[in-house]
Structure 1
Amino acid sequence: MKIISIVGARPQFIKAAPVSKALRTKHNELLIHTGQHYDENMSKVFFEELKIPRPDYNLEVGSGSHGKMTGMMLEKLEEIYLKEKPDFVLVYGDTNSTLAGALAASKLLIPVIHVEAGLRSFNKTMPEEQNRILTDHISELLLVPTKDAEKNLTNEGITDSVYNIGDVMYDAVLDFKEIARKKSDLLKKLDIKGDYILTTIHRAENTNDINRLKNIVEALNECGSTVILPIHPRTKKYILEYGLSFNDNIKLIDPVGYIEMLELEMNANKIVSDSGGIQKEAYFMGKPCITMRDETEWVETVEVGWNLIVGTDKEKIKTAIKEFAPNSDRPEIFGDGKAAEKILNIIESYSKER
């Protein structure tokens, strides 16, 4: 069986690590990197440290508008699909790479497997939300990470070939957590010895809006804690463009690889972020998460009391950093860490039934 897997952004590289490993035990998997994340610290380092197979194709689309980026991917992916004639195309999550990979396959009547299907923020102004919905409605196999994701699909009339497999990012955390504990020495290099807050900012809704980004920067400056901020290239660009600056309590560092990020997460006091993936990683690590968005796809983490949505309200961010403390256990809402194995089994069973 030949399966083409599409990746293009940091969270997808992480998800691909356990899944590609499982698929390649029995089948021919080709990996296509769209080049949506092309900075070496955002891309190449992940393939190296997670031992993800070298991409068979790199589209190198780079940055651009949503239409330009998606259009370039569609054109190039169609050529590859026609040449390789895969049995399935597998896509992850909710990026432009996800939508382009699924749409190009669907037009050629190649079955689409959507890993991390069913997520909804119910905010259609987000490009990610549009990508999720469109991809789900053209996929043949929908592999959801949680019960809520399954319910979302049911509410949209999608009930066939939906499987709750748990979250593949949990597989990756379990695989690489000990490596991070034993081998990563980033904190030593940074000379960080006391408590700190780990922060990431990258979503366009925050970086491209001067008022939202200004509120975030001022909240971090005034929070009274040491903050480590691996700064995303887009965030850095807008910080400079808007003339914003950080106080001395903020430790700015370049983007880090996955192993170093796990080290930062494991040792943080709290995590403050607008990232979907990092909300989950915070939960896996047992760290309180403060989410600088107006909604989240990971509503389960909020419902059990480990994630607090604060938007970009300056005072809410500062108060949460000082006071937010979960007072409940962490139920197993993301599966058992064997999602990749389940993906392999489901694809094989589905292939036999076709």
Structure 2
Amino acid sequence: MKILNIVGARPNFMKMAPIIEAMNAYPEQINHLLVHTGQHYDEKMSSSFFVDLGMPRPDINLEVGSGSHAEQTAKIMVEFEKVCLREKPDLVIVVGDVNSTMACTITAKKLGIQVAHVEAGLRSRDMGMPEEINRLCTDVLCDFLFTTDHFADENLLAEGVGQEKIHFVGNVMIDTLLRHREKAKEVGLVDRWGLKPKGFATLTLHRPSNVDDPVVLGGLLEALADISRQLPIIFPIHPRTRKMAEQFGLSHFFSSGDAVSGLWVTEPLGYLEFLHLNMNARLVLTDSGGLQEETTVLGVPCITMRNNTERPITCELGTNFLVGNDPARVLECARKILSGDLPQGRVPDRWDGRAAERIVRVLLDEMAC
């Protein structure tokens, strides 16, 4: 069985790494190639993750680079079609919800190639999110839908997907976290930066809804600055956020070179570095998706600055608090967490480090039929 594994952005690498490892246990049955679309191409935003995760270098790199959603999607489809025609795979595996996920799914299906989607069925119900459009388009086309929790199963069934296509396997992001947790403990950033375990917070902030409006971004930075007076916040800044903050005249909120106070900005970090920080953080503030899952397993309180989440299991069972981008709600939630007023979270079913093994077993069983 010949498989093309698709990655395009950093979250994809974290999801694909354990799948590749699981496939390597069946060398006589699975011939797999790693295809990198080049959607993320900056060294810190992309290449260093391959090193951290112990992934092989991509067999094929489409090198599509940046562009509008339409430009990027079109470039991926054109280049990936050439790969499919040349390699003639039996299956394409896509992960997550980035443009590469949707583009490669459409291309493969138009050529009659089966597609598996890892992390299927997640829904935010927010069509203003490009990721939601990618998820919907991908799931309706795929032959194998691998889900992380009962919410995802229920979403797919409600949309008319046949039960036989849906496979509840758990969360491959957590496979990666559990495999690398011990290694991340040894990174040593906390000591080098003069921090104390549980004496700081970490932050990610990059969604257009939060950073493209000067009023919204300014309000959030005011709230974060307020929190940072009590608890220093480490902020590996996304290039988009830095650009918008400079454009809006908000760079004065950032400091660097002194990790013991304030809102401390760093360049983007590698996977192990950031996992090391999050493991030691008192709380995490984010508008991303994967951190909601990682903090749930780490038992670290997470304030999600979004109005919706495609990962409601992290709020139902985990340590995630969905507060939107209202500065007052962000501050209120942070104060409750810092005062110890929060429930104890639980780890969802099958987030046990074996999701990738289950995925490969399903593919071997069903594609052999």
TM-score by length of 2: 0.93
**Counterpart for residue 283 of structure 1:** 296
Decide which moves more: 210-219 or 135-144.
210-219
Match among 230, 240, 261 for residue 236 of structure 2 = 230
Match among 50, 73, 77 for residue 74 of structure 1 = 77
1:133-160 CA-partner distances (Å, limit 9, x unpaired): 1000000000001111000000000023
Any runs of at least 4 consecutive aligned residues in structure 1 with deviations exceeding 3 A, and if so which?
none
**Counterpart for residue 143 of structure 2:** 140
SS of residue in 2 equivalent to 1:321: helix
Question: Are 1:257 and 2:270 an aligned pair?
Answer: yes
**Counterpart for residue 204 of structure 1:** 208
SS of residue in 1 equivalent to 2:40: coil
* Residue 65 of structure 1, CA deviation: 0.5
* Residue 47 of structure 1, CA deviation: 0.4
2 CA distance for matches of 1:350 and 1:305? 33
**Counterpart for residue 340 of structure 1:** 356
2 CA distance for matches of 1:247 and 1:166? 38
1 CA distance for matches of 2:347 and 2:102? 32
* Residue 322 of structure 1, CA deviation: 1.5
Contact 1:73-1:97 within 8 A present in 2 as well: yes
Q: Report the RMSD for the aligned CA atoms in angstroms.
A: 1.3
TM-score by length of 1: 0.97
2 CA distance for matches of 1:184 and 1:121? 34
**Counterpart for residue 89 of structure 1:** 92
Decide which moves more: 46-55 or 216-225.
216-225
2 CA distance for matches of 1:305 and 1:281? 10
**Counterpart for residue 178 of structure 2:** 174
> How do 1:267-282 residues align onto structure 2 when only pairs under 5 Å count?
267-282=280-295
**Counterpart for residue 22 of structure 1:** 22
1:170-210 CA-partner distances (Å, limit 9, x unpaired): 111110000111x2012223222361111101222222222
**Counterpart for residue 246 of structure 1:** 253
Structure 2 segments unaligned to the other structure (5+ residues): 256-261
Match among 64, 67, 71 for residue 64 of structure 1 = 67
1:48-86 CA-partner distances (Å, limit 9, x unpaired): 121111101111111110000000000000000000000
The 3 A distance-change label for structure 1 pair 305 and 18 is closer
The 3 A distance-change label for structure 1 pair 331 and 174 is closer
The 3 A distance-change label for structure 1 pair 69 and 278 is same
Contact 1:265-1:271 within 8 A present in 2 as well: yes
2:170 partner letter: G
1:2 partner letter: K
Match among 44, 50, 55 for residue 53 of structure 2 = 50
1:313 partner letter: D
* Residue 119 of structure 1, CA deviation: 0.3
**Counterpart for residue 297 of structure 1:** 310
Question: Are 1:220 and 2:224 an aligned pair?
Answer: yes
The 3 A distance-change label for structure 1 pair 68 and 247 is closer
* Residue 211 of structure 1, CA deviation: 2.1
Question: Are 1:313 and 2:326 an aligned pair?
Answer: yes
Number of residues of Structure 1 aligned to a counterpart in Structure 2: 352
Question: Are 1:327 and 2:343 an aligned pair?
Answer: yes
1 CA distance for matches of 2:76 and 2:12? 16
1 CA distance for matches of 2:132 and 2:78? 23
* Residue 247 of structure 1, CA deviation: 5.3
1 CA distance for matches of 2:7 and 2:160? 28
Decide which moves more: 70-79 or 214-223.
214-223
2:17 partner letter: A
**Counterpart for residue 5 of structure 1:** 5
2 CA distance for matches of 1:78 and 1:193? 51
SS of residue in 2 equivalent to 1:228: strand
1:16 partner letter: M
Contact 2:254-2:265 within 8 A present in 1 as well: no
Decide which moves more: 57-66 or 276-285.
57-66
SS of residue in 1 equivalent to 2:139: helix
2 CA distance for matches of 1:216 and 1:22? 41
* Residue 352 of structure 1, CA deviation: 1.2
Structure 1 segments unaligned to the other structure (5+ residues): none
The 3 A distance-change label for structure 1 pair 234 and 247 is closer
Contact 1:180-1:260 within 8 A present in 2 as well: yes
Contact 2:72-2:99 within 8 A present in 1 as well: yes
* Residue 337 of structure 1, CA deviation: 1.6
1 CA distance for matches of 2:352 and 2:191? 32
